Amino acid sequence: MIEFRHAIIEALADELAADPSVFLLGEDVAAAGGVFKTTEGLLERFGPDRVIDTPISELAMTGAAFGSALMGRRPVLEIMFGDFMALSMDSLINQSAKWRFLSNDQVTVPLTVRTAVGAGGRFGAIHSQNPGTWLHNVAGISIVAPSTPGDAYGLLRSAVQADHPVLFLEHKRLFSMKGELDRGLVELGTAAVVREGADLTMVSMMKGVHDALQAADVLAAEGTDVEVIDLRSLRPLDLETVVRSVEKTGRIVCVEEGPVTGGWAAGLVGQLAAQALDLLEDATIVSAPDLPVPFSPTLEDAWLPGVERIVAHVRARLAGV
């Protein structure tokens, strides 16, 4: 068993050891070992030329990472909090994501951007957001989001080896969770059925997967057999796995930690409606309200789409309410 944060360290160490073009950069990734201790020990092992502390400028460090990727390196950039991704947008959206297209596929941009995301840790409105959906409609970028240590390891290694930009989301409330690690790679753009069921399909990602599994246990005691899917990747989206599940259950509930407006859940339900409407008896979303993440612990817990809300929502839908 290994902690999620240590799975991140193991993946980074294995990529640094395997490929001399790989290097890490970001605020406090070297001497401090990362604010969430996800790069601890890497400076001592690989030295200051491969593990680099940067000044406090997200735009500057993203530009440097983009430039080094163009010159044949494989940078792994850490943005301390996902909320700060807004400062990197020009380099990501207008340069990194477009360069391969603009060069007629002559130039690759092997850039991985890691960032900590998610609410529930009492960090307040500007340190608790999830920027995955901000880049959801940007062609040229992959967006991956593991929920287990094994997937964190396998997806991160695949991200570093990819020849295009990858945004790698790490939920803060998962860093201390433990799980198995088999050191296998996980293909980008593949979802996982983490619980088989026949009555209803429940789809989520990151921390939401664990909430969905707990909700499925509660509902199972009431006679409702829930299938749970971990998307693992927003872009590319494994719609095929979701469709196969909905073909079986006829119902889908999407659980998203974030507002429904512009969220991935609404997009997924929309794609199902467009491509597989005849499969569905019911398609609904459990999400956060269209409000910033509160700082008050009581209000933050109420904002999150937790297990109780998921169970209550499913009960209401099955009852026809």
**Which segment of 30-39, 225-234, 256-265 scores lowest on mean pLDDT?**
256-265
Identical fold between 2-179 and 192-318: yes
Q: Which of 6, 127, 164, 210 is catalytic?
A: 127
pLDDT score of 279 = 64
pLDDT score of 282 = 66
Domain segments of the chain: what residues? Answer: 2-179, 192-318
Residue 280 has pLDDT above 70, yes or no: no
Residue 102 has pLDDT above 90, yes or no: no
Residue 320 has pLDDT above 80, yes or no: no
- How big is the chain, counted in residues? 321
Read off the pLDDT of each residue in 240-244 and give the average, rounded to a whole number: 94
Please give the mean pLDDT across all residues of the chain. 92
Pick the CATH number of 192-318 from 3.10.20.30, 3.40.50.150, 3.40.50.2020, 3.40.50.920: 3.40.50.920
Pick the CATH number of 2-179 from 3.40.30.10, 3.40.50.970, 3.40.50.300, 3.40.47.10: 3.40.50.970
Model confidence over 173-210: pLDDT tens digits? 999 999 999 999 999 999 999 999 999 999 999 999 99
Q: What percent of the chain has pLDDT over 70?
A: 97
Model confidence over 72-88: pLDDT tens digits? 999 999 999 999 999 99
Model confidence over 41-56: pLDDT tens digits? 999 999 999 999 999 9
pLDDT score of 306 = 83
Whether residue 136 lies in the annotated active site: no
